[in-house]
A and B are shown apart, each in its own frame.
Chain A
Amino acid sequence: MSGRVIVVTSGKGGVGKTTASANIGVALANTGASVALVDMDIGLRNLDILMGLENRVVYNLVDVVEERCKLRQALVRDKRLPNLSLLPAAQTRDKTAVNAEQMKTLCQELRNLFEFVIVDSPAGIESGFQNAIAGAQEAVVICTPEMSAVRDADRIIGLLEARKEEIEQYRLVVNRIRPNMVRNADMMSVNDVLDILSVKLLGVVPEDEEIIISTNKGEPVAGTDNTRSGLAFRNIARRLRGEEVPLLDLDVPNGNWLNRIMTFLNPVKV
């Protein structure tokens, strides 16, 4: 097998990289694909928590690289989704524990075992980021419609562009969009962000309190029905698999009758 290695990255911290990685992994696994989720945020391990697998971590990525265990021993298989495994980050080491060559070798090994290898990158543009993208052929850039996040995403896109030979394609996910704020011209829309960054869009995820609840439960929203963010991530997974899926209509009026009438009279493309 020769799987696809996709790095999830953003530059800025706190825009939802890890949440997106977990949900894209779960959504891809739900389509039947075999998936490895790799936590490259060495020293600040969190993907295991979002997946609800924190109690089952024995070995980690650094143990594999330093040959203290076999890759298969370090992979934590998700009992709810047997075709999904997590390779956790080390918590007591730092970003210098792995180098780019080692990461390439590791990704090659993972590609032989899984159809999709989703790498959760750390924030920043330094060695941690450089290592995270080292073995990848594709990138998903996560951005929120805030100026600082867009600026950092632009920097990341510049760095990905400079690595065109390795990173064959990159696409943007606009996360945490608030349709009501866009409608009131208080927040940049998805199209505004796309205009600014000149980049292909992979998906749009609305701001959703369910994300907090799902994180607390250790069950990513993509695996549960009835959440808009979960549906958005499932659509992203389908697009990654090459399906053409229309964007979610986020402009659904909610709240009072006045809002509904205004939305009806004056719909805004978010």
Chain B
Amino acid sequence: MQILNWFFRLNDSDSARNTAKDRMQKMLVYDRLELPAGRLEVLEEELLAVVSRYFELDADTTHFDLQQTERKAALIANFRLLRAKC
């Protein structure tokens, strides 16, 4: 069993170690900002609505995320624009 683990370690993204690290990183962004669950999604919807008044958007590639460097969070929003609305 151990040897199997070892062989498959190259793609161990679902290992307990990596799962814990991922969960921690996501959780701590919310902890540090004291951001309640669901709040970010509301913001995303509102922002989308505002930008959509000015542009037609490629909804499939719109990307919205909180990232963390050195204990400081950044809001990363990436709207792919198709054309301006007049």
Assess the A154–B31 pair: CB atoms within 8 A: yes
Chain A residues lying within 8 Å of B69, measured Cβ to Cβ, are 198
| A7 CB, nearest partner CB in chain B, Å | 20
Which of B3-11, B36-44, B52-60, B77-85 lies at the interface with chain A? Answer: B3-11
Total count of chain A residues near the partner, CB < 8 A: 24
CA distance A195 to B21 in the complex (A): 9
| A207 CB, nearest partner CB in chain B, Å | 16
Total count of chain B residues near the partner, CB < 8 A: 22
Q: Which of B2, B28, B70 contacts A184 (CB 8 A)?
A: B2
CA distance A262 to B5 in the complex (A): 11
Chain B residues lying within 8 Å of A258, measured Cβ to Cβ, are 2-3
CA distance A262 to B9 in the complex (A): 12
Chain B residues lying within 8 Å of A155, measured Cβ to Cβ, are 31
Say yes or no: A185-B15 contact (C-beta < 8 A), given A151-B31, A196-B24. yes
CB under 8 Å from chain B, chain A span 244-258: 258
CB under 8 Å from chain A, chain B span 20-50: 20-21, 23-25, 27-28, 31-32
Contact indicator per residue, chain A 175-206, by CB within 8 Å of chain B (1) or not (0): 00000001011111100100111100000000
**A50 lies within 8 A of chain B by Cβ:** no
Chain B residues lying within 8 Å of A147, measured Cβ to Cβ, are 20, 23-24, 27
CA distance A155 to B23 in the complex (A): 16
Say yes or no: A184-B5 contact (C-beta < 8 A), given A192-B17, A192-B21. yes
Say yes or no: A186-B24 contact (C-beta < 8 A), given A262-B3, A266-B9. no
Provide the main secondary structure of the chain A interface: helix
Q: Which of A185, A195, A198 contacts B16 (CB 8 A)?
A: A185
3 closest A-B pairs by CB: A185-B15, A185-B17, A185-B12
User: Can you name 25 A-B residue pairings with CB atoms under 8 Å?
Assistant: A147-B20, A147-B27, A151-B24, A151-B27, A151-B28, A154-B28, A154-B32, A157-B71, A185-B12, A185-B15, A185-B17, A185-B18, A186-B16, A187-B17, A188-B17, A188-B20, A195-B25, A196-B25, A196-B28, A197-B71, A198-B71, A258-B2, A262-B2, A262-B6, A266-B6
Residue positions of A touching B, CB distance < 8 A? 147, 150-151, 154-155, 157-158, 161, 182, 184-189, 192, 195-198, 258-259, 262, 266
Contacts A147-B20, A147-B24, A151-B31 given; 19 further ones with Cβ under 8 A? A147-B23, A147-B27, A150-B24, A154-B31, A157-B71, A161-B71, A182-B17, A185-B9, A185-B16, A186-B15, A187-B17, A187-B20, A188-B24, A192-B20, A192-B21, A196-B28, A197-B71, A262-B2, A262-B3
